[in-house]
Structure 1
Amino acid sequence: MYLGNSMMKRASQHLVLIAVATVMSAFSSMAISQEDAADGQPKYIETKKESSKVALGIFEDAAGLQNGGKFNIAEEEWQAFLEDHETDPLAPQVAYFLGVCRIQLGKIKTAATAFEQALKYKPFELTEQAYLQLGWCSYQVAVNTKDADARQQQLRKAVDVFDKQLAAYEKSDFSDEALYFQGESYYALGDIAKAEVSYQNLVDGFSKSELVLESMYALGTVLEEQKKFPQAKQIYTKFLDTAGDKHELFTEVRMRLAETFLQEESYEQAAEIFGEVASVDGFASSDHALFRMAFCQVQLKDLDSAAETYGQLAESFSDSQYANESNLLVGRIRYQQKDHEAANAAFSKVVEQGGAFAIEAKHWQCRILLAAGSNDEALALATEAIANAGDSEFLVNLKMNQADAQVAKGNHEEARKLYLAILNDHADNTLSADALYNAVFSAYQLALHEEVIVDGTRFSEKFGSHNLLPDVQHLVAESQLTLKQYETAEATLRKLVENHPDHPKHENWTVRIAASLYVQKKYEDVTSYIDGVNESIESAQGKAEAHYLAGASSFFLKQDEPALTKLNESLAASPGGNYADDALLFISRIHANAEKYEEAVKTASKLIDTFESSNVIDQAHFRRGDFLNDSKQYDKAIEDYQVVIERFPNSVYLVPSLYGKAWCELRLDKHETSVATFTVVIDNHAQHELHPASLLGRLICRHQLDEFDGVVEDANTVLKSTADNAIKMEAVYQRGLAEVALEKNEAVVASFTSLLEDYPKFDRIDSVLYELGWAYGELEDTEKSIGMFDRVAKEFPQSQFLADAHFRVAESLYGDEKYADSVGRYEASLAADPSNSLKENVLHKLGWAFYQQDEFAKAQEQFESQIKAFAEGTQALQGRFMNAECLHKLGDFEKALAVFEQFDASELESAQMKTLAWLHAGQAASQLKQYDKALVSLNLVVENSGEPSEFDARYEIGWILHRQMKYDDAVKQYEQVARGSRGGVGARARFMIGEISFAKQDLEDAVKQFQRVMFGFGGEKAVAAVKVWQSKAAMEAGRSMEVQVEDAKTKQDRDGLVKSAVEFYTYVVEKHPMSSSVEFARKRLEALSKL
């Protein structure tokens, strides 16, 4: 809804200019008396028949002031008129114009009072406008009032005033404005039904009004708010047909039209219009249009398009109120599509922005982290989010995430507490059943078997039809077995098998029935039962448990100590039996698990020597190669890997052997050979699980061989072929470094940015940030570049890049003219022990940072330190120059001149520096009255430098000649400066010519020169540097007049001189009130007034 606070369009056209003669003529004979009012009619203020001369004079003056834009003075005059001439015939008009002045002055409340005063008189030609202005003022006061009661009162007053106007002046030139602001007032009151009537009356009755389009827009809005979408669609369509596409509200109305289609569930039409609206350049609500467009796409099941639209909104309108929610919705869609990487990127943006959606985003991020096995990160995130979740609907989800993370980390005790807390605190939540199931599972993992049975029974009673019931009962059966409740466990398992024949764990329960019989020592029952169910057992693990209940089962359960015992017993019972070779292989692996590599190698060697025809001989060579590899015996490891490669080309251990061999070669710095071995895996075994890791190994070798394009190629292939985060993060890192070497900066940014976003725990983040800083710098994205260096400096105090990172941040701050801030960063760089080449630059720029803040002593100290430490450095010449400059600024002209003489200014690279060196050397010599030296340096400026430095030098030459009383020569120099420079030095030179004339007692010429300064060089529009000399020139001109007063021959001459002096001093006071000469000028004016 439009709530404008500017004056109405037509009414504002007659707010200022007043045709005085016409007004006075129209009202000079106007007489209204109370007797004219009939009974029951308003009593108006009685006015006189004619205006007095005094009243006419005030009116004329006030009108002139108002016409001249002097509204504050005009207000005072109109107010005075009403106070002294309330019954004058012109008083109604005066009250109206008083209100007008106050509107111009922004005094809306008092303007309303004036219009109320105007309405106390009998209707006159401005009465309708007075109603309109009064109603408008009341509306403006309301919309700018914070107090709700006062706001309502003013809005009701506005409505009442507009009602009176419309009743008295139906269909007038101002009725459309009254209807419009009446509608606005009703809208502000919250009475949108009445607002609708006002807007509708304007639209229907004033089709030619300049406000008809705004009223159509407002009408459509209130219709939408009343959910009258068909009517709103009709009025919006009419607006678009009437206004054309050039109207400022055309796009806004199209968007609202699209909303009406959406509300009617015409999603395709709505999406199309929203898309067109969103693409309009400069449209303020493009973000809203995109948001609604994406909603339509979701309704149309076009999720990819919806995600792209939401993403476009968030990226293009990052400050939009919809940006954060859009990122959330992108994340939801991508998570639903199982694209966790894209989902996490979207959720990260939501969390970064904070706000209401961050809690939900963190929930989804927890699920993604858990799915990726990043359990510590998931736990930390869930815990942090819970603390800030408040009464969020995702609080329970986050608590489940927290508990799930503890499970994934193996902290079942803590997880169980968390699950039970969810059940107790959120019993009615839909996740309470999952929480109880997980509590049962955690109890089982903790061997709290009695609790498993108690909580399992509780689950059966509370959630008897839940799909997790079989899993809970399975855990109960396992706990019953553990607690030696064998018969009870058997009954539980048989019930599971009977009631849930299609359950995925049916086979497992079948085998566990056999186990329950076994622990009851019902050996015959075990045999008969296995025979009966053998055909139904399909999995390798199931057959192993059914037919091999001792020995190797402990190894498969990762229980190495009991497994080792059972396997040794198996070997002792049957050293050459069917399982002897397998037993030896398992035993070697158990030793390796304990990092007893020597024992592992001996055991594997025994297998190889004893069972040459074993079907696990290929695996034995591979395992022994791994054991040797782990013990860093790379040459010997290669020999075993080579046996598998040559003798067992079809073995499942062929690729692992190639992979192990390649890494051994890499560790032996045989990079070309290693590349060749990795390539065999890559080219011939693309589907193998080690393919991504082989690509990673090869790209690392290629990096060592400076084959950077190959590194990038391999890295990209790795990223497409694996979900292993450890491999992916290393591949991205290596790719980024290769792209740095290739100077592909955009690619560097893409690689390292993805690494930061996807793998924030990477162990070389400081290197990533540092390289990003350089890449962004090469791409001229200074803000991001410095952001990266700043992170290195703040987050990695031990980084090898610390000194340079601080320096880069300091350089940026310096470039942004934040010199004080840059000092701290330069000093931090020095404290980080930079290299010599960097240290010289740091000292030099630290000096500059102090110099830019006018801390010349500190700056000089740094430049001197730089010169002492790096006398022959690349910045030595500039350092000496700046050292001299600082001394010059400090007024130590003797030392400054000495330093200037230590180097040849012509060798400075910068023309500006050369000029300053000559100029300031000349000025220093001049201050020391070594005029010959000064003139040599200053003439170098004149001969070698253009404007404006030439003028500065010529002025200094003139000043030297001036002090030497070589006035004519000085004037020549000053004159060139005054004619050439329009700035401060030119004005100062002209002033000095006047001073010379004054010294020569040529007071007439002196005054002329001073006046050239006063009124030349831009006059009143002169720059500040000129105004200083304008003020001084006026003072000197006044003094030149005063010194002639005593010698005046006649009173007329004397009075003329005094008058001229007064004019000059008055010029100072009026034109240069901030001048240091003002007080003296006032004193002279006071003294001269007494003459």
Structure 2
Amino acid sequence: MKRSLLLLLILIFFNYNIFSQVSPEKFSKAMDAYNSGLYAETYRLFEEFFTDYEIKDEMYATAKFYSADALLNLGDEDAAAAGFEFLVNNFRSSNFRDRAFYKLGIIYFDTKQFSRARARFEKLLYEYPNSEHAGTALYWIGESYSAEDRLSDAINYLEEAVAKHKNNKYEDYSIYTLATVYEKTGDYENAVKYYDQLLSFHKDSPLAVSAQIRIGVCYFKLKDYHSSILELKSPLLSDLPGELYSESLYILANSYYRVQEYEDAKKTYLEILESFPSSDFSRNAMYGLAWTYFQQGKYNDAYKTFHSLSDGDDSIAVKSFYWKAEAKRYAGQEDEAFRIYAQFVEKYPGSELVKGVQYQMGVVYYSNRQLDQAERFLKDALTSADETIRSKGFTLLGEIELSRKQFSSAKNSFEAALNIGGISHELKMRALLGYGASLYYLGNNEEATEKLKEIERENEHFEPNKVNFYLAENYYAMGDFQDAIRRYNNINLSETEIGSQALYGKAYSYFNLKDYDNAAYSFNEFINSFPRDKRIVDASLRLADSYYGSKDYSAASKVYRDLFNAGGGEIENPYAYYQYAQALYKAGNTNEALNEFSNLQKKFPQSDYADESLFTLGWINFQQNDFGKAISAYKNVLNVYPQSLLAPIVYYSIGDSYFNLGKYDSAIVSYQVVMAEYPASNYVFDAVNGIQYSYAAKGDYVKAISFIDQFVSSNPSLSFSDQIFFKKGEIFYSARNYEAAKTSYQEFIASYPNSKLVAEAYYWIGKSAQNLSQNEEAIFNFNKVFESYPGSESAAAAVIEIGNIYNAMFNYDAAINIYDAALEKLSQSSRIAEITYMKGTTLINKKDYAAAYNVFDEVIQYFGKTIFADKSKFELGLIELARENYINADLYFKTLAETHSDELGAEAQYYYGYSLFEQEKTDEAIAALERVRVVFSAYDEWLTKSYLKLGDCYTKLDQIDKAKEMYRVVIGKHRGNVYGQEAQNKLRELQ
């Protein structure tokens, strides 16, 4: 400063020498006054100077600057601004011009003329970028934007001000303001970053302690409460002025509260109240203290604190009034809570909390099961602007309606709750559960299931027992009993509300799946776990039915008997008696069963089971081959109940009884009654079969055919007349009258061209022609089935028959062609494995062993679980045996012999022995062939061949007596046939 003044004096003397009329004394005196802080004197002297000094040079500009600055120091900002404006506008080369711009910016900022302030600061930055005031100007521009809440612009300038810290004497303020701007934008991470920067590089700044408080606040806003606590626990903060320190304590206490460190929160709130009772934060601190007591379960302390705050009209007083009622409610003093709620509504009728109070009053009534009053208050609460209150109100209202079985209203209430955008996650789950339950009771099972699954997707831990229960019930209602069981199994059966229902539903699910063992176990568990349940009799009946279904008739009859002995109206029903009698019979207690069936009819003569019980008496006699008694019992059914719906089966059963007595004419009469009087019944077909067998037993097929013709003629409109007509062909075919069978089936096709039996008719025409050695006609009809009816069950059978005919005619290529066509056209047929296998055997007949090998291998690969896969393995064994690949052959034969007890096993066992014989493993061959005698003795062909091969084995071992013994066994069983002749020849060779 002294150096500047020296330069200034030199300039003044220079000017004095030029302009001798101007005295430098006034300028010098003005500067002395300025430096002495005599700003009024400074201004007066400079004004005199301006009067005398008319040259607008640097000295004049200098005088203007100090004159304006003196006015500024006197507090006359407008006059000072005019002076500085004169300087910057008229002295562009002045050394004081950048300082004047800076001063103008400060004046305009202080007078909140932010736009003009920025204009002067920006002019300074543009024209004097290297000015000592450049960095500070950036800071003030940022401050001005911050003051106008133009936060993005503020950030840009403040960040630049921080970067140009060398020319910024307010670097710490720039950092602090930048942090506060970020805090205003909600970018608390960057706010913390710059507050930390201030503490790191400007520890001695007067803003440091404030920055530390703000860091704590920012961490609080970021919900990083532990970091907030760490910042605000600093002992340095205790030296702050009271208001700042109380603020830091308030944020610290709130942080403790948020991390549920309630004891520390309480101590900190109390510190504010005791040390800073007049602080702006003391009332908020008391409110926080009340909440801390509330969260600690100290509801009486919470009530007292809320009560002390409720004697006012500010928002804290209103909220405290509300929460002191809540404190009473949580303390279990619901009457007192209700009284305070009522006072609140009366005192603050316009408060936004009134709707919340009405909701809570509804909750109190609901908890006391006073549902009408609860509903009234909840409906009042539904007009609240608070989304949480509305969503809670709709949800609780839905639960009330659900408990009243008002399912449609409940659905609407839960749906209204779910449609509220601000609904909490917990409440959404409750509403979804209620919504799903309502849909279930309304029968909307698929939608209910989807809503309940939504709960699982969003929160698998929410009410899992109830969610699984309603899912199980929905699956049960939709008939998906397996999924129902899976859900019932997820439920804790000790759950009071739904445990018994879940076990009961699971038992019924098993029952409906006919899984009677598990059903019995579950019903038994229900009876033992819930002996006082109102459904105990029904569960006992179903337990008996389950034992019956699992064929444990003794257990079933015991349960029925126990129920009858216990008595009670629920068990007095004909179904239970009928099942009891059935169980007795199936448990082997026939006489008891007969008595109970007879008693049932007497006890419940008008029930649906009365005629059935009499019929069952006849059926039991029939099963015991006492056909005379059976006939009497059957006739008694119609004597007692002439209009019984069982009449068709009664007449049919009488017919069967006469048939078994050999009284075919009487049997035919009874069968004819079924057909004549009950043509629409399900027993007509059986009656036709009965007549057919009766005439067959008498050897009189003509009458059987005649009767069918009469029946069809008399009942032309019956939906199953075609099936009756079709029987004619079957009768002729079974009598081996193949020409008549052909004619009958042809007549059938002509009479019923649209019948589903047409394909089968063509097939049997083919079979009849085949039996008559009319191969061309047979092939034609079989091919008709294959080409015209590929979707019928007869199509594959027709292809197999064509193949058999071609094989018999040695036309192997034609057989292979039809097989190939079928493999393409009938790819979905259940007999496709058999057709492929037949192709392989045809290739064997053709002696194309390589191609046959590939086909058999294909059967094994693609149809591994069918019998034709094992047959293919046998054929591969024969091919390997022919090739003398004994290892492979033995593997096939031995595996089949060990896994089959049928003829295929016998054949494989024989060839295994044969293969060993060919390999000269004679002892092993004997053991293998002996196994045919031990395991497969029922299959004479392979037993006989084994005896013959055993004879060969013993001959090779020179055990001639044993060899002769084997051959004599064959001769004894097969004298006169090829096996006997072969054995005779071998025996002669040994003589």
Query: TM-score band, normalised by the shorter chain?
Result: 0.3 to 0.5
Larger radius of gyration: 2
TM-score (norm 1): 0.42
